[in-house]
Amino acid sequence: MITASELKVGTVFKAGTEVLVVQKLEGTKTGRNMSVTKLRVKNLLTGTTAEAGYRLSDSFEEIELDIKKMNFQYNTGDTFHFMDNDSYEQFEIEREDLGDAPNFIWEGMDVEIVFYEGKPVSVKLPILVDRQVVYCEPGIKGDTSGRAMKPAKLDTGYEIMIPLFCENGEWIRVDTRDGTYKERVKK
């Protein structure tokens, strides 16, 4: 069994007869003696996507899944193409099935693809990825506190808030769980 508190983006779980995959974690709210988490889930049996809420103590049946290491090749619009690193077989996954993963993956990146009954349903990402800032306003020297932030765009197209001291062209480390800036890295 798995509890709602253990659900992550990409987790596939069974609620009764429904098989659901978590596409997005939208936050947890705490009341007296309990917490409720809000998710965006896709029903793998009907293909429908919806918002859902669960108490963190709710438990679900775990699903037997296949996980394969694959390489992200390219995307054509909303279709993302991956190649099985062992069999060289090609797979297509639609953007809506990838959750927030398109914000953090790049061509040539190895990722783990989750399959349910032979069909790719989600991507498992590393918790931290390094990406390059391709656009931001000029950095402010001297402000190294990291508290004041400014908008920036990464090479994946993802828009993120970064500290004022970061510069265009620099590389930063991003937490894929919530899409936030972690630190500046040297490349």
- The residue among 51 and 94 lying less far from another protein, judged by its C-beta, is 51
Which residue among 5, 24, 38, 81 contacts another protein (CB under 8 A)?
Answer: 38
17 φ/ψ angles, rounded to the nearest 5 degrees: -95, -5
Whole-angstrom distance, CA of residue 45 vs CA of residue 77? 25
User: Nearest distance from residue 44's CB to another protein, in Å?
Assistant: 12
Which residue among 51, 62, 94, 178 contacts another protein (CB under 8 A)?
Answer: 51
Query: DSSP state, 181?
Result: E
- The residue among 52 and 128 lying less far from another protein, judged by its C-beta, is 52
- Neighbouring C-beta atoms of residue 126, cutoff 10 Å: 12
Piece of 35-43, 75-83, 131-139, 144-152 that binds another protein (CB under 8 A): 35-43
Which residue among 5, 49, 52, 168 contacts another protein (CB under 8 A)?
Answer: 52
User: Nearest distance from residue 17's CB to another protein, in Å?
Assistant: 5
Which residue among 2, 3, 5, 14 contacts another protein (CB under 8 A)?
Answer: 14
Q: What type of residue is 54?
A: Y
The tokens for 168 are: 């265009």
Rule CB under 8 A: say whether 53 interacts with another protein.
yes
- 128-136: strand order across its sheet: 159-163, 149-154, 128-136, 171-175, 180-185
Q: Which residues have CB under 8 Å from 41's CB, separation 6+? A: 20, 21, 22, 23, 49, 50, 51, 52
- The residue among 117 and 143 lying less far from another protein, judged by its C-beta, is 117
Residues that bind another protein (CB under 8 A): 14-18, 20, 27, 29-34, 36, 38, 41, 43, 50-55, 57-58
